[in-house]
């Protein structure tokens, strides 16, 4: 019996790599990207509660003030590479499915996250499918959920990350093409249950098969604010004082447009992404007036044999802020990770990465490089197989000529060793 796909959506939405091993519980489930999967009339609902999640924990010792290697001001996630260069945390999900006598199929999902000192509520939603006779595969949901958060793996970058609470519909079918749309609100800071005052309409058109080897998806998101919001302090207006104080912002709209192209032929698979943001970066709610960002990124994998793979990524992102032009910059990134499996238990990975931050209006550049060697014990031979135990050593260097966050300029050499387990289930 298949496990409930929504309960296992964490496999797609939380995991750090975009390419996964096919294990028995995930048989025949297509992991199309880092979006939550949804139930359909074809879903077999298991009895009881399904527990799933993603986590990585371990120790990381560094001989430098900077524990991890990065270029100050970089924009594309962990742009010098994530292997042996990332912290701890996890997300833990419980889901229950129901089948109604009227033929509708339901699920209720809750998820807790632990990426800091506290454990927080990340998801709590319900959804139903087989509701409309003309659209049996449409999935209607409401609540708090991961939302609109596609990811690339080698740099652990969510090139959109619009987690929120609201309602929407997924997998409306127009021929072979599918359409998702939602109206969502950013959750108030500090663990509250209400809305922050930032809202968005999000949409995705997907399943556009140009050829047998090429498919296309489009994203279009529009963000707006009410008269009360917790963000955009630069344009905030406050009235009153003390407990009667109320703050609001002038209306600042934002939008994101993105294209995702997936290509797979033979033993090679590639994903090309381009995203433009107006008044935003990768989060539609966190608006900055007169900000524009542009991302272009290619990530791929070449399977040379059952034992040898090469994963690679090249990326570019620019940021222009008319109100803080001294911070205008572009981030160039390249990562390559050859992997070799000695057998179906032991493997060796080598990851090399480079990140360059080039400033438009300041003289100087920031850059960083790192190389990590990792010896692994894993669930299976494929490089995406989990659980995995990793024992690694990292060497790297960062050079800061333009100080944005570190409080000083100069060169920092880093040597680190560590051990970590990682799993999605």
Q: How confident is the model at residue 229 (pLDDT cuts 50, 70, 90)?
A: low
Report pLDDT digits (tens) over 96-134.
999 999 999 999 999 999 998 889 999 999 999 999 999
Does residue 33 lie in a domain region?
Answer: yes
Does residue 347 lie in a domain region?
Answer: yes
Say what the pLDDT of residue 39 is: 84
Lowest mean pLDDT of 24-28, 115-119, 155-159, 228-232, name the range: 24-28
Average pLDDT over residues 38-59: 89
Does residue 3 lie in a domain region?
Answer: no
Q: How confident is the model at residue 10 (pLDDT cuts 50, 70, 90)?
A: very low
Angle in degrees, CA 286, 291, 293, rounded to 5: 90
Average pLDDT over residues 249-278: 93
Average pLDDT over residues 289-307: 96
Does residue 409 lie in a domain region?
Answer: yes
DSSP letters spanning 337-351: EEEEESSSSEEEEEE
Count of domains forming the chain: 1
153: containing domain: 9-424
Does residue 4 lie in a domain region?
Answer: no
DSSP letters spanning 88-116: -EEEEEEEEEEE-TTS-EEEEEEEEEESS
Say what the pLDDT of residue 122 is: 94
Does residue 311 lie in a domain region?
Answer: yes
Q: Is the pLDDT of residue 239 over 60?
A: no
Q: How far is Cα 325 from Cα 126, in angstroms, rounded to an integer?
A: 44
Q: Is the pLDDT of residue 20 over 60?
A: no
Look up the pTM and report it: 0.86
CATH number at residue 103: 2.40.170.10
Residue 394 near residue 415 (C-beta atoms within 8 A)? yes
Residue 49 has a CB neighbour count (10 Å cut-off) of: 13
Does residue 148 lie in a domain region?
Answer: yes
Does residue 35 lie in a domain region?
Answer: yes
The H or E element containing residue 416 is strand 410-424
């Amino acid at each position: 019996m298949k496990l409930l796909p929504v309960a296992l959506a964490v496999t797609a939405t939380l995991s750090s790599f975009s390419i996964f091993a096919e294990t028995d519980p995930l048989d025949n489930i297509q992991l199309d990207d880092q979006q939550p999967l949804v139930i359909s009339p074809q879903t077999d609902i298991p009895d009881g509660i399904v527990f799933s999640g993603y986590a990585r924990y371990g120790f990381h010792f560094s001989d430098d003030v900077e524990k991890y290697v990065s270029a100050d001001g970089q924009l594309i996630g962990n742009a010098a590479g994530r292997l042996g260069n990332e912290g701890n945390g996890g997300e833990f999900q419980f889901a229950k499915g129901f089948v109604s006598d009227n033929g509708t199929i339901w699920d209720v999902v809750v998820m807790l996250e632990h990426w800091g000192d506290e454990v927080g509520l990340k998801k709590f939603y319900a959804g139903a499918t087989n509701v409309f006779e003309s659209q049996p595969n449409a999935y209607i949901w409401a609540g708090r959920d991961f939302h609109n958060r596609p990811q690339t793996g080698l740099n652990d970058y969510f090139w959109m990350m619009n987690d929120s609470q609201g309602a929407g519909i997924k997998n409306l079918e127009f021929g072979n093409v599918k359409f998702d749309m939602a109206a969502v609100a950013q959750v108030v800071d500090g663990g509250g249950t209400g809305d922050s005052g930032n809202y968005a309409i999000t949409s995705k058109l997907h399943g556009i098969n140009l050829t047998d080897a090429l498919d296309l998806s489009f994203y279009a998101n529009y963000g707006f604010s009410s008269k009360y919001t917790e963000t955009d302090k630069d344009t905030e207006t406050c009235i009153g004082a003390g407990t009667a104080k109320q703050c609001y912002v002038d209306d600042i709209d934002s939008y994101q447009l993105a294209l995702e192209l997936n290509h797979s032929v033979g033993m090679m698979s590639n994903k090309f992404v381009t995203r433009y943001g107006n008044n935003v970066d990768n989060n539609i709610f966190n608006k900055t007036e007169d900000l524009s960002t542009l991302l272009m990124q290619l990530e791929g994998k070449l399977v040379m044999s059952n034992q040898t793979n090469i994963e690679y990524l090249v990326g570019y992102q620019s940021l222009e802020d008319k109100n803080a032009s001294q911070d205008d910059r572009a981030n160039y990134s390249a990562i390559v990770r050859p992997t070799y499996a000695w057998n179906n238990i032991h493997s060796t990975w080598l990851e090399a990465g480079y990140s360059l931050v080039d400033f438009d209006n300041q003289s100087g550049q920031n850059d960083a490089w790192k190389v990590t060697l990792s010896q692994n014990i894993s669930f299976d031979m494929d490089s995406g197989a989990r659980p995995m135990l990793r024992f690694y050593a990292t060497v790297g260097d960062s050079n800061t000529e333009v100080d944005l966050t570190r409080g000083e300029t100069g060169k920092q050499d880093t040597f680190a060793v560590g051990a970590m387990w990682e799993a999605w289930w």
